[in-house]
């Protein structure tokens, strides 16, 4: 780890001002950033500690929304009464994220802004395209964990488990900063890296996530998060599916299906969602929706297994929600 | 979107990159060490405070042997900077015994043979302690979940679960 200066930010305004200085990086729980500092993938001159910003750490109900400050830890969110009662999809996503120790330190903001896990990216001596190099080494290399959707030069997948679940809940995100400021849909916050913007969120270098807002628009218990992983704890998703339904009697009024581990950002499959509208759920329909969800998927050399996995997770998710409703 | 945050000159004080005094509350005692900001809590405990009960395995959050309690909650000391821990309570395995008396969880680990090489044991015990502090009557599944971030390469898991349940029983009576 290269040495750096360290400063505790007293509030959001100061943090944003401090981050203006080139070579400055924000740290929250540190569980992702420290792994990058140790491997010298990132070498900031100054680290700005966000955890001293007291008004970014809360979970509160406000009118029709649940508001979660960016510094709330994953454990705090998982254990929160409202989350358990109304947003089981989020609780389920957190309970299969990393480990208890990591969830105690990791924050919501850090989870959404974490770096990709592509092994070429994580190697200290490889300067791949995402690290402003010339080429993607995964394209012709070992790409078993990589994307089946998307058209970026970078084929790494977004590793967050919380992001698909939150997008399925129509969550919004608040940003404070010098380049971006205000509130937008979480879905629009994530970007596939482009030539001129090689990162997976639209944040500028001095922009901060301050809050995530979950509207109370879905009924309780209508969401499920399924994650295929190599072992039952401590692993990033191979593929995951966040499925959220709004029922009207026995019929589906609205559906959200967001896949994780399949693209450089959480991947919402709108065509598959649309097939459910106004329908009663049957095994046959769940199968068709699963197939539609992966209709546009394209396998790389080593990741064809992800296509049936994604299809079946969507199907299982839909059937599980039907079972829970009964 | 519009620019809205007004930029002003921040008052907060930068520390480092050289050594700077850092005050750590460890096992209820206050210690001031002189370290660079990049010092991890794990290295501070082992190298600056000589508390080598906290083990260094992978140093990247994938083994659990550096588990300590941060304000009562288990965390990995390798993924935390010492300087970030100012104002918080750190508890390590050395904080569990009282004089010559080892902690009931430690006693239960011995009685149930809940370790072989012992490298993961301090971390396992602290994860169990945090569980029992929050939930005095855990199920076997609760224990498994609580130690799911502590790898044991010897595979002593069944005995770790037995030891934790036994300790829970003793601590209640
Ligand atoms: C072994 C291991 C296993 C893991 N498994 C999983 C898993 O299964 N699922 C999963 O989802 N994650 C997993 N993770 C990742 C983990 O969830 C993230 O490391 C964590 O959520 C990051 O949060 P943090 O607060 O520690 O962020 P930090 O490490 O502090 O920051 C991460 C990045 O976000 C930026 N950042 C932090 N807060 C803000 C903010 N408010 N605004 C703008 N930028 C910000 C930082 O500058 C940095 O670039 C795993 C991590 C490890 C080490
Ligand atoms: S997939 Fe992305 S992160 Fe991995 S080598 Fe290619 S450009 Fe780099």
Query: Would you kindly state where each structural domain of chain A is located, as residue ranges?
Result: 223-325
Å between A183 CA and nearest CA of chain B = 9
Q: What is the mean pLDDT of chain B?
A: 95
- The predicted pLDDT at position A221 comes to 65
Distance A316 CA to ligand 1 centre (A): 28
pLDDT confidence of B1, banded at 50, 70, 90?
Answer: very low
Å between A58 CA and nearest CA of chain B = 17
Gap between the Cα atoms of B55 and B76, Å rounded: 10
Q: Of B29, B40, B37, B154, whose CA–CA distance to B92 is shortest?
A: B29
CATH number of A223-325: 3.30.390.50
C-alpha angle A138/A136/A197, rounded to 5°? Answer: 130
Compute the average pLDDT of residues A81-102: 96
Distance A130 CA to ligand 2 centre (A): 6
Does the pLDDT value for residue B4 go beyond 60? Answer: no
Pocket test for ligand 2, best of A36, A116, A199, A301 (most atoms within 8 A of CB): A116
Chain A residues with CB inside 8 Å of B75's CB?
101, 104-105
Q: Is the pTM of this model over 0.95?
A: yes
Does the pLDDT value for residue A219 go beyond 90? Answer: no
Strand order in A24-27's β-sheet?
Answer: A5-8, A46-49, A24-27
- The total of other beta-carbon atoms located within 10 Å of residue A258's CB is 26
Q: What is the mean pLDDT of chain A?
A: 96
Pick the CATH number of B20-94 from 3.10.580.10, 3.30.300.30, 2.40.30.10, 3.10.20.30: 3.10.20.30
Indicate the SS3 state at residue A112. Answer: helix
The minimum-distance atom of ligand 1 relative to the CA of A71 is 41
Per-residue tokens: B110 = 């011995």
Positive or negative, the CA dihedral B3, B7, B13, B19 is positive
Gap between the Cα atoms of A164 and A124, Å rounded: 29
- The predicted pLDDT at position A128 comes to 98
Residues 6+ apart with CB under 8 A from A5: A45, A46, A47, B14, B15, B16, B17, B37
Minimal-distance CA residue of chain B relative to A38: B60
Low-confidence winner among A58-67, A91-100, A102-111, B122-131 (lowest mean pLDDT):
A58-67
Gap between the Cα atoms of A306 and A262, Å rounded: 8
Per-residue tokens: A22 = 């080139």
- The predicted pLDDT at position A64 comes to 85
- The predicted pLDDT at position B53 comes to 98
Distance A191 CA to ligand 2 centre (A): 15
- Look at A287 and A217; give whichever has higher pLDDT: A287
- A16/B149 Cβ within 8 A: no
CATH number of B104-172: 1.10.150.120
Look up the ipTM and state it: 0.96
Does the pLDDT value for residue B5 go beyond 90? Answer: no
Judged by its nearest atom, the ligand closest to the C-alpha of residue A37 is 1
- A100/B16 Cβ within 8 A: no
Residues near ligand 2 with C-beta < 6 Å?
A 116, 118, 120-121, 128-130, 136-138, 154-156
Compute the average pLDDT of residues B128-132: 98
The minimum-distance atom of ligand 2 relative to the CA of A155 is 1
Gap between the Cα atoms of B141 and B10, Å rounded: 49
The minimum-distance atom of ligand 2 relative to the CA of A141 is 5
Chain B residues with CB inside 8 Å of A12's CB?
5
CATH 1.10.150.120 in chain B is located at 104-172
Gap between the Cα atoms of A49 and B75, Å rounded: 18
- The predicted pLDDT at position B2 comes to 45
- The total of other beta-carbon atoms located within 10 Å of residue A279's CB is 13
- A75/B79 Cβ within 8 A: no
Judged by its nearest atom, the ligand closest to the C-alpha of residue B76 is 1
**pLDDT tens-digit profile of A173-182?**
999 997 778 9
**pLDDT tens-digit profile of A262-271?**
999 999 999 9
Give the single-character DSSP code of A56: G
Chain B residues with CB inside 8 Å of A29's CB?
79
- The predicted pLDDT at position A218 comes to 76
Nearest-10 Cα torsion for A247, A248, A254, A255 = 20
The minimum-distance atom of ligand 2 relative to the CA of A129 is 7
Distance A305 CA to ligand 2 centre (A): 20
Q: Of A214, A98, A118, whose CA–CA distance to A161 is shortest?
A: A98
CATH 3.10.20.30 in chain B is located at 20-94
Does the pLDDT value for residue B3 go beyond 60? Answer: no
- The predicted pLDDT at position B19 comes to 98
**pLDDT tens-digit profile of B59-101?**
999 999 999 999 999 999 999 999 999 999 999 999 999 999 9
Q: Which secondary-structure segment (H or E) carries A266?
A: none
Å between A15 CA and nearest CA of chain B = 8
Q: Of B78, B58, B54, whose CA–CA distance to B153 is shortest?
A: B58
- The predicted pLDDT at position B11 comes to 74
Gap between the Cα atoms of B140 and B162, Å rounded: 8
Does the pLDDT value for residue B52 go beyond 60? Answer: yes
Does the pLDDT value for residue A169 go beyond 90? Answer: yes
Distance A110 CA to ligand 1 centre (A): 4
Å between B46 CA and nearest CA of chain A = 18
Does the pLDDT value for residue B6 go beyond 70? Answer: no
């Amino acid at each position: 780890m290269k040495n750096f200066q360290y400063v505790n930010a007293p509030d959001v305004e100061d943090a944003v001002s401090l981050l203006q200085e080139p070579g400055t990086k924000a740290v929250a729980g540190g569980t992702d950033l420290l792994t990058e500092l140790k491997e010298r993938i990132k070498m900031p001159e100054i680290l700005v500690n966000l955890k001293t910003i007291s008004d970014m750490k809360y979970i509160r109900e406000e009118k029709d929304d649940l508001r979660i400050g960016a510094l709330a830890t994953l454990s705090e969110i998982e254990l929160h009464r409202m989350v358990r009662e109304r947003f089981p999809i989020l609780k389920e996503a957190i309970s299969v994220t990393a480990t208890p120790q990591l969830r105690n330190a990791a924050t919501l903001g850090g989870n959404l802004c974490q770096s990709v896990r592509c092994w070429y990216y994580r190697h200290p001596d490889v300067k791949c395209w995402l690290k402003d190099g010339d080429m993607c080494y995964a394209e012709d290399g070992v790409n078993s964990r990589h994307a089946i959707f998307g058209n970026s030069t970078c084929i790494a997948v977004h590793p967050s488990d919380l992001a698909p679940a939150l997008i399925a809940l129509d969550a919004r995100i608040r940003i404070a900063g010098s380049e971006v400021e205000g509130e937008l849909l979480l879905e629009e916050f994530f970007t596939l890296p482009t030539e001129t913007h090689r990162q997976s969120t639209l944040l500028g270098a001095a922009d901060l996530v301050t809050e995530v807002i979950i509207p109370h628009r879905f009924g309780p218990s209508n969401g499920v998060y399924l994650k295929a992983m190599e072992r039952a704890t401590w692993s990033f998703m191979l593929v995951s599916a966040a499925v959220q339904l709004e029922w009207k009697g026995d019929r589906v009024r609205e559906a959200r299906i967001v896949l994780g581990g399949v693209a450089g950002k959480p991947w919402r499959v709108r065509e598959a969602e649309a097939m459910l509208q106004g329908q009663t759920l049957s095994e046959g329909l769940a199968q068709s929706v699963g197939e539609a969800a992966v209709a546009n998927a394209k396998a790389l050399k080593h990741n064809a297994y992800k296509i049936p996995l994604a299809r079946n997770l969507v199907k299982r998710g839909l059937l599980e929600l039907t079972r829970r409703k009964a | 979107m519009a620019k809205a945050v007004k930029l002003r000159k921040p008052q907060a004080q930068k520390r480092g990159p050289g050594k700077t005094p850092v005050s750590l509350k460890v096992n209820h005692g206050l210690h001031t060490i002189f370290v660079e900001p990049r010092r991890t809590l794990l290295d501070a405990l082992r190298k600056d405070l000589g508390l080598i009960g906290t083990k260094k395995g992978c140093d990247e959050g994938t083994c659990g042997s550096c588990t300590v309690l941060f304000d009562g909650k288990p965390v990995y000391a390798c993924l935390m900077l010492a300087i970030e821990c100012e104002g918080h309570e750190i508890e390590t395995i050395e904080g569990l015994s009282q004089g010559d008396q080892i902690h009931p969880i430690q006693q239960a680990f011995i009685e149930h043979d809940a370790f072989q090489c012992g490298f993961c044991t301090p971390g396992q015990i602290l994860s169990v302690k945090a569980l029992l502090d929050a939930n005095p009557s855990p199920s076997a599944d609760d224990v498994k979940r609580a130690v799911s971030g502590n790898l044991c390469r010897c595979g002593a898991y069944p005995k770790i679960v037995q030891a934790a349940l036994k300790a829970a029983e003793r601590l209640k009576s």
